[in-house]
Amino acid sequence: MMEALKFMKSIKKRYKLSFLISLSIVTILIIGFLFLEKKIYIESAAGILFVLAVLQVFGLQYFFKNQLQNDVVKSNLKLRVHELKRSLDLAETVADQKSIYLANMSYEIRTPLNTVLGMMNMLKQANLESDQFAEVEIAEYSSLHILQLVNMIADNAVVDRGNARINIKAVDLQADLLKLFKIFEYQALEKSLAFEYKFLSENDSKFRVLADSSKIQQVLINLINNAIKFTNSGKITVTVDQTIGENDSYFLTFYIKDTGVGMTPDEVKSLFNNKNDISKSALLRDYRGGGMGLSVSHKLVELMGGELKLESKENEGSTFYFSLQLKKTLNIESDAVENKPLLLNRLRVLVAEDNRTNQKVIKALLERQGADCTFAKNGVEAVDLYKILDFDLIFMDIYMPDMDGYEATRLIKETEKYTKNNTPIIAVSASAFEEDIVKAKASGMHDFLAKPIEVKKLKALLLDYSESQN
């Protein structure tokens, strides 16, 4: 910064010197004219010219000295710019490496979780005693808690990179949040904390709105996780208050209240002044991992048109809250559970999956809905099986040995059978980042199914593509 200021001063000095030289030249011309007109004597003219010459010598000396300093400043500025570019390239490289590591970590955790949750779901369908069912349910919610943390880290990274987008659709927000809060009940129980949640609404109106349910849940996950972390005794209370607005809209206000350590007014002020770098808060540095996701929550709430607020009192607790204006809707599909097969006509499904335990999970899920499964352990087998057998639908794992799902899809789409049948290909992967979904669809796959597999999503895909086949 100082070098830049010096550079600007040198430019101003150069303009002044140019003006003085121009002035001396004009003076010399005037003296010459007066001498020719014999209005001044030669001695006077010589004296004036001598003084001007001396002034010009000093001026040129000053100019060259200033020019030398200016060259040094320019050289230092170029060197500084080069160093900044190198630092920026290094920072971008580190960020890319962290993104790759995060993607790999997410994939490695999601893959076994898919098996665990699938087996838990199968166990719940068996004839269990009440105590056994409760034990399986606790194990399932604990697994969902791990999955929730993995998703939170991955989703927060997306927001930090500035790539978050709002996806508005019709949702039953109360039904979505009930599932989420159930997970936190078990998490709070591990710290001997009470966890209470309630939905308040005018005239018993339903929480059916046009919203991005996943982004709202992401904010709540961040805030509730921190509330549990900073609370050693007492309880966590989550309140969703719905007020009817104008023009077919609702105002939904979310309150997350804890009885934890709380904050002083100065700490609250510091926290919100540094909302993009929460780690600067002295309070949060005392807690390992404290403050995770707060800056992300600020960004997400602002992205959805709200503002995250905080009220806190030291040693008594804190309350985070935010309000969103959402359009009401009645276009919500029923979530009723049916034990009978979903498909009236059995679909012949090819599943390319290299993990044997995942094969068992997918087989159970598909057959329960009325589909017949044939498995391939890699892309090579998937292509060979497609050539000799007839299938209505293909579930293609993206990452497999010998040949991955992208290459297998390309080879299948080059066959005459595919040209004739146009068999739908669904990408399946535990790596469910936005770039994976975009890449899968760009490679020619029709849809994307993330692991752990959600039964609701699987049913919707089967229903869609069975109707298209019919």
pLDDT at 193 over 50: yes
Give CA 236 to chain center in angstroms. Answer: 26
Neighbours of 351 (CB within 10 A): 23
Instruction: Give the model confidence (pLDDT) of 409-425 as tens digits.
Output: 999 999 999 999 999 99
Q: In terms of pLDDT, which residue wins out, 427 or 243?
A: 427
Residue 209 β-bridge partners:
171, 328
Question: So what's the pLDDT on residue 196?
Answer: 93
With beta carbons less than 8 A apart as the criterion, state whether 224 and 210 touch. no
| Mean pLDDT within 184-191 | 84
Q: In terms of pLDDT, which residue wins out, 274 or 351?
A: 351
Instruction: Give the model confidence (pLDDT) of 284-340 as tens digits.
Output: 444 434 455 787 888 889 889 988 888 888 888 899 999 998 988 876 654 444 445
Question: So what's the pLDDT on residue 413?
Answer: 93
Question: So what's the pLDDT on residue 31?
Answer: 67
| Mean pLDDT within 74-88 | 78
Give CA 321 to chain center in angstroms. Answer: 21
Residue 261 pLDDT grade (very low, low, confident, very high; cuts 50, 70, 90)? confident
| Mean pLDDT within 375-381 | 93
Question: So what's the pLDDT on residue 390?
Answer: 92
| Mean pLDDT within 102-127 | 73
pLDDT at 13 over 70: no
Query: Rounded CA gap, 156 and 217, in Å?
Result: 12
**Model-level pTM?**
0.56
Residue 262 pLDDT grade (very low, low, confident, very high; cuts 50, 70, 90)? confident
Residue 116 pLDDT grade (very low, low, confident, very high; cuts 50, 70, 90)? confident
Least Cα distance to 178 among 198, 193, 206 occurs for 198
Question: So what's the pLDDT on residue 337?
Answer: 43
* Locus of tokens 């352990």: 377
| Mean pLDDT within 458-467 | 83
| Mean pLDDT within 369-393 | 92
pLDDT at 115 over 50: yes
| Mean pLDDT within 146-169 | 72
| Edge-to-edge strand list for the sheet holding 393-397 | 371-376, 347-352, 393-397, 425-429, 447-450
What pairing do the DSSP bridges indicate for beta strands 317-328 and 371-376?
A: unpaired
| Mean pLDDT within 70-90 | 75
| Mean pLDDT within 263-283 | 64
| Mean pLDDT within 164-183 | 86
Q: In terms of pLDDT, which residue wins out, 359 or 286?
A: 359
Domain over 146-328 is classified CATH 3.30.300.20:
no
Query: Rounded CA gap, 173 and 216, in Å?
Result: 9
Instruction: Give the model confidence (pLDDT) of 210-227 as tens digits.
Output: 998 888 988 998 899 889
Which residues 6+ apart lie within 8 Å of 277 measured at CB? Answer: 295
Domain over 347-469 is classified CATH 1.10.1740.10:
no
59-68, 72-81, 393-402: least confidently modelled range: 59-68
Question: So what's the pLDDT on residue 78?
Answer: 79
The single-letter code of the amino acid at 255 is Y
Mean pLDDT, all residues of the chain: 78
- Domain-by-domain residue ranges, the chain? 2-91, 146-328, 347-469
Residue 8 pLDDT grade (very low, low, confident, very high; cuts 50, 70, 90)? low
Question: So what's the pLDDT on residue 33?
Answer: 65
Question: Averaging pLDDT over each range in 161-165, 279-283, 433-437, which range is the top one?
Answer: 433-437
| Mean pLDDT within 8-25 | 66
| Mean pLDDT within 83-112 | 70
| Mean pLDDT within 94-122 | 70
pLDDT at 140 over 70: yes
Residue 239 β-bridge partners:
198, 255
Q: In terms of pLDDT, which residue wins out, 452 or 272?
A: 452
Least Cα distance to 326 among 256, 244, 255 occurs for 244
Question: So what's the pLDDT on residue 452?
Answer: 75
